[in-house]
Amino acid sequence: NEKGEEIAVEGEGFLARAISHEMDHLDGVLFEDKVIRYIDVKKED
């Protein structure tokens, strides 16, 4: 919280994924850090 006190939050399904995603941002973790396999797809004209 705004006072720096620890809080506990629980979630399931999409809410849990959203919370995890936002916590990753706070921890400096990017999507590309979690990617197991990356395929470079370029749009052809």
The residues annotated with a catalytic role in the active site are 22
44-to-6, 38, 40, 41 alpha-carbon distances in Å:
49, 18, 12, 9
24: left (phi over 0), alpha (psi -120 to 50) or beta: alpha
